[in-house]
Amino acid sequence: MKAIKKWLNIGTTIILYALLLCMIVIVLSAKAAGGEPKVFGYQIKTVLSGSMEPGIKTGSVITVKPGGDMTRFKENDIITFHDQAEDVLITHRVIDVINNDGVVMYKTKGDNNDAADRNPVLSDHVVAEYTGITIPYVGYFMNFAQSKNGSIFLLILPGVLLLGYAIYQIWTAIKQIDAKEKIVS
């Protein structure tokens, strides 16, 4: 029983330290990248609308691959582009490629939208290509983590958990010492 308790204590300590380290890395990488975390050259984007449901659910995180020739896309590719009018990034499917005297534009549409987007997207406004990787509901957490309050909370929470666990360990050790002293007395 003592061996199991010892391994549980070691495991809990390792998990809490790993949690603290992960939170620090997530928060700092998001801040260093200007709010856009990157993993192995892929950007992680949070989906905040339902325009691409059911394939990409609201609150999901998706990975996109930035760079390359932005005139390479064809019908059914999913691209992330900068909407100049609303100053937001949008991820939609290409439904038509328009080549007008060497200027490539894409007609796009959200899978869940009834109509195509109003304006074609210039290839210069395309930011990245969707890689097909989606993790549902994690976007809500990432959005919170990138906020000021979220960053503070996620850095403080593991520290508080470690402190609480240390206090519990000290209290347990004192209780064991007291029990041994009563037996000796």
- pLDDT (tens digit per residue) in 41-63: 788 888 888 888 888 888 888 88
Q: State the number of CA atoms in the 13 A half-sphere of 150 facing the CB.
A: 15
Summary mean pLDDT of the chain: 82
Per residue in 19-49, is it b (16+ CB within 10 Å) or e — as a string?
ebeebeebbeebeeeeebbeeeebbbbbbee
- Pure H helices in 75-147: 138-146
Q: What is the pTM (predicted TM-score) of this model?
A: 0.64
Which range among 46-60, 86-100, 115-129, 170-184 shows the weakest confidence by mean pLDDT?
A: 170-184
Q: How many CA atoms lie within 13 A of 184 on its CB side?
A: 6
Q: Is the pLDDT of residue 4 over 90?
A: no
Active site residue 49: yes
Catalytic residue among 49, 51, 151, 185: 49
Percent of the chain predicted with pLDDT > 90 = 14
Q: Report angle CA 109, 97, 105 to the nearest 5 degrees.
A: 85
